[in-house]
Structure 1
């Protein structure tokens, strides 16, 4: 499905923090600004192929006021341009949105999956408030008209007091977490790099342990999974093998490109609420 994106969006989208509906982000310490990188996008149900990024496209990430400060409302601006610097104005709707914007803190403790509105001239915007100063990485995930899934990323700096330093992420000893009234268990069919791995989520009621069988579609699918390497250089956005599944099982297929530690965020919807569950695994 294609959409001529000369339409200007007027809807404000709130920035998520480990789920939907929270406009604030926690931050890590340190500062910095990194280069723009193109990265692959992995889709379950399509042999887990990494879509070749459109190398001729560029993304610039900025704040409308020129800078962002902790605890002050700001607006993120993402501009997509071609190799000549001309704005790109034609995108395809991908899982109900023209752009998926992933924002993570340097230590990966803060995660958001939001959807900026297209404003014309290649520019998307979304308002937010950062709870802390520090370093964040932004991933613009989109599909240009007639092209393949593309992800462009960059580090940005938020002014203000940084959060207390957190311990380095470490693999979870047990892949079972409670989020609200739900218990989520994750199993992996393997833990080797460069081999297809199936991620299987089992979602149940935390008290009764009964499987939840009425999950609702989230962005057109039973769930979405975002995976980042510990250094935030490897990015995977994974869609389910069966997008119409309703639980309690949700399966995703992907391939980890390198050995190392990865953080995995699974997002699902139940009774109108999106919940996010993070896990950390080690790939050999």
Structure 2
């Protein structure tokens, strides 16, 4: 698809989501994220009724500069969609990744009016980025709209997306170990994140709520075309283990970002896996 540079691009895509039960623990219909059971992913088509118009305030976004982005949510006639469900404390979740998936950002544009969300953000370097908007129109099902953009500025060499063999990492003083049971394409499985203090090796049992849950997981295929957003099986858990149910639609390489909060600070732990 064309990259967003000058002007406005209208987008309506088919995006893969992870599907949970019909109603989430907060009573929202059509929640596409994972809740309370390890249910798999499926394709969700949202081209018929909902579209997104993406626009930067500047003609061309540049790296290391604060850029204002607006996202207009509308139906296929161009009429703004003005009411949205609250999904995990927000009306819209925006995921930003670089093409090689080395950069990840999970942010929340503010709703203004007439279906328009706005946010100011920076891109660390030039190159291609994918923007993924995740939201629920009032009375409808969960929707995901995305767009590739090109950011001006020095672009670093692309890092290869290689599956890892060590699934224990230290981030912000936390030692996090990922385990997956029944890892196979098309099969339901449970992802478990075990979190310890990196210095003392003691289990961390006082994880805090992040966006209404013990954690969130975003998964993308290596080409950034398959997107899964999971919420934990036990939302009010406090550690040391946070479990998420999911499934991978096809074999291949995927990157997983687990996000958790401890002592007032959110930390993000990435893993790259190969799904047979």
Q: Same fold (TM over 0.5)?
A: yes
- In structure 2, C-alpha distance between the alignment counterparts of 1:49 and 1:174, rounded to whole Å: 25
Of 191, 201, 217, the match for 1:225: 217
Q: Map 1:191-210 to 2 at 5 A.
A: 191-210=183-202
TM superposition shift of 1:49: 5.0
- SS of the equivalent of 1:62 reads strand
Gaps of 5+ in 2: 19-33
Deviations 1:168-224 (A, max 9, x none): 111111100000211000000022110001100000000111110000000000000
Partner of 2:161 in structure 1?
Answer: 169
- In structure 2, C-alpha distance between the alignment counterparts of 1:208 and 1:53, rounded to whole Å: 47
Partner of 1:216 in structure 2?
Answer: 208
Verify the 8 A CA contact 2:102 2:159 in the aligned structure 1.
no
- In structure 2, C-alpha distance between the alignment counterparts of 1:137 and 1:229, rounded to whole Å: 12
TM-score by structure 1 length? Answer: 0.85
Verify the 8 A CA contact 1:41 1:235 in the aligned structure 2.
yes
- SS of the equivalent of 1:125 reads strand
- In structure 2, C-alpha distance between the alignment counterparts of 1:38 and 1:141, rounded to whole Å: 13
- In structure 2, C-alpha distance between the alignment counterparts of 1:47 and 1:180, rounded to whole Å: 29
- SS of the equivalent of 1:86 reads coil
- In structure 1, C-alpha distance between the alignment counterparts of 2:257 and 2:128, rounded to whole Å: 20
Of 251, 260, 271, the match for 1:259: 251
TM superposition shift of 1:255: 0.8
2:105 paired with 1:101: no
Partner of 1:59 in structure 2?
Answer: 52
Number of residue-to-residue matches in the alignment: 253
Deviations 1:4-34 (A, max 9, x none): xxxxxxxxxxxxxxxxxxxxxxxxxxx9459
Partner of 1:237 in structure 2?
Answer: 229
2:13 paired with 1:37: yes
Verify the 8 A CA contact 1:38 1:53 in the aligned structure 2.
yes
- In structure 2, C-alpha distance between the alignment counterparts of 1:227 and 1:267, rounded to whole Å: 11
- In structure 2, C-alpha distance between the alignment counterparts of 1:239 and 1:216, rounded to whole Å: 14
2:104 paired with 1:128: no
Gaps of 5+ in 1: 1-30
- In structure 2, C-alpha distance between the alignment counterparts of 1:130 and 1:49, rounded to whole Å: 33
TM superposition shift of 1:53: 4.6
- In structure 1, C-alpha distance between the alignment counterparts of 2:12 and 2:101, rounded to whole Å: 19
Of 257, 265, 275, the match for 1:273: 265
Partner of 2:146 in structure 1?
Answer: 153
TM superposition shift of 1:225: 0.1
TM superposition shift of 1:37: 1.9
TM superposition shift of 1:66: 2.6
TM superposition shift of 1:238: 0.3
Deviations 1:76-125 (A, max 9, x none): 11111101111110100000000000000000000000000011111101
**Alignment RMSD:** 1.6
2:66 paired with 1:76: no
TM superposition shift of 1:250: 0.2
2:172 paired with 1:180: yes
TM-score by structure 2 length? Answer: 0.88
Partner of 1:283 in structure 2?
Answer: 275
